[in-house]
Amino acid sequence: MGKGIRALLSDIGETPSSSKPDNIHGNVPALGQILSIPIHEININPFQPRNEFDDEKLEELAESIRIHGVVQPLTVRRESHGKLQLIAGERRLRASKKAGLQEVPCYVRSASDQESLEIALIENIQREDLNALEISYSYERLIDECALTHEELSKRIGKKRATITNYLRLLKLPPDIQNAIKDQRISMGHARALASLDDVLLQLDLLHEILSDNLSVREVERRIASLAKRKPKAKGKKKSSSFKAMEEKLSSQWSTRVRLNHKANGSGEISIYFHNEEDLQRILDLLQ
């Protein structure tokens, strides 16, 4: 799993020399051993950072397990009441159930609630099929719930601090852009470029251009650089921070650019931008 997970597991001791796991046979599992444990005796990890599992990929893994068995043991810990709780490997556990296995090989270790969360999150980050937003949430949880600094997290997972910062910035993007990341309609490169903009309205405008014109990351970066060179002169009275916040909130909720024109007498106008007739109908449906 790389240096990060190895560092967490370094206090366990050596793996038993036998490649074939012992059977638990109702005995209390010893720490640092690989045992064959009945699936029904393993409780799911409440700290599991991943809630969604691809059914098709899960079935593919189940088919592999039917043929080759579980190649990588699951990691479990003994709880205070004597039961076993999964630390890492829920995807393997689910696939093993689909494959019809009654027992799975497990590595038994000692871990506190925080260590269990940390191991589960770090194993989750090591996966190759995560989208950028899932990685961002895992980074945020490691920082918040495991009380890690950016520097400490950087060392644990073997990533540069700048990389961690870029992922965390994705969590501040509007919901529409986050959904585009989840659905893989835009790449991490696109998302990182959009996150460099402070203006939510510009972010949403560029998102629509990316999707409608199939813009590459380089093209998006060029457009952002061009915007940065422009220094428009302020016209009239500057909008208050509360009105600016309202514009951004409406733009984010309706997934389009919204402008508020506030007049001196207290009246005003709302301008809502739409890209085409289909987009206009979408906005009308929202308003209704």
Q: What is the CA angle 70-72-76, rounded to 5?
A: 100
β-strands 103-109, 42-43 pairing: unpaired
For every residue of 20-40, DSSP letters joined together read SPEE-TTSPPPTT-EEEEEGG
Say how far apart CA 209 and CA 273 lie, in whole Å: 13
Residue 170 · residue 178 · CB < 8 Å: yes
Counting runs of H as helices and runs of E as strands, what totals does the chain give? Answer: 13, 8
Residue 29 · residue 73 · CB < 8 Å: no
How is residue 131 written in tokens? Answer: 């989208």
Q: Tell me how far apart the 2 most distant CA atoms of the chain are, in Å.
A: 83
* Catalytic residue flag (residue 79): no
Tokens 């043991």 belong to: 73
Catalytic entry in 14, 63, 90, 277: 90
Helix (H) or strand (E) holding 104: strand 103-109
Q: What is the CA angle 167-170-172, rounded to 5?
A: 135
Show Cβ contacts of residue 260 under 8 Å, excluding neighbours closer than 6 positions.
239, 243, 246, 247, 250, 268, 269, 270, 271
Residue 210 · residue 190 · CB < 8 Å: yes
How is residue 212 written in tokens? Answer: 């409608």
User: Would you please indicate which residues are annotated as catalytic (active-site) residues?
Assistant: 90
